[in-house]
Amino acid sequence: MLNSDATDHATGNAEIARQFAALGDPIRFAIIDRLAREGEVPAGALSEGFAVSAPAVSRHLGVLHKAGLVQRRVEGQRRLYSVAPESMRRIALWTLSHRAFWQGSLSRLDALIALEEHSDD
């Protein structure tokens, strides 16, 4: 058991973990997936789309907003939500930093060899 550095090697690991946690709920994941496809969607439309009450969706949106995954824009009485691009980029970057594990159909050993070969990133 070491200090907290041991659980947080790279910069911003805690933040991306919180973003993954936000994406971990099926409803929130579906919300993000839908926003990424449809662009801006008002809260009310999302409530109709998912099988929980409007207050529940509202709080899910709050969680996503707090995690930095969505942006909110006020237009009249509606709140229009959309995906925050930077957050998606952060997640994509993380997957790319470990791309040796998913590029092609690599075995675990191949992945490690690939990691050795381009150790930059």
Contact residues for a copy of itself (CB under 8 A)? Answer: 1-4, 6-10, 13-14, 16-18, 20-27, 29-30, 33-34, 36-37, 39-40, 47-53, 71, 82-83, 85-86, 88-89, 91-93, 95-96, 98-102, 104-109, 111-112, 115
In angstroms, what is the minimal distance from the CB of 111 to a copy of itself? Answer: 6
Q: How far apart are CA 49 and CA 28, in angstroms?
A: 12
Can you tell me the distance from the alpha carbon of 118 to that of 121, in angstroms, rounded to the nearest whole number? 8
Least distance to a copy of itself from the beta carbon of 30, Å?
4
**Which residue, 29 or 102, is less far from DNA as judged by CB?**
29
* DSSP bridge partners of 73: 80
> CB of 77 within 8 A of CB of 117?
no
d(CA 43, CA 81): 7
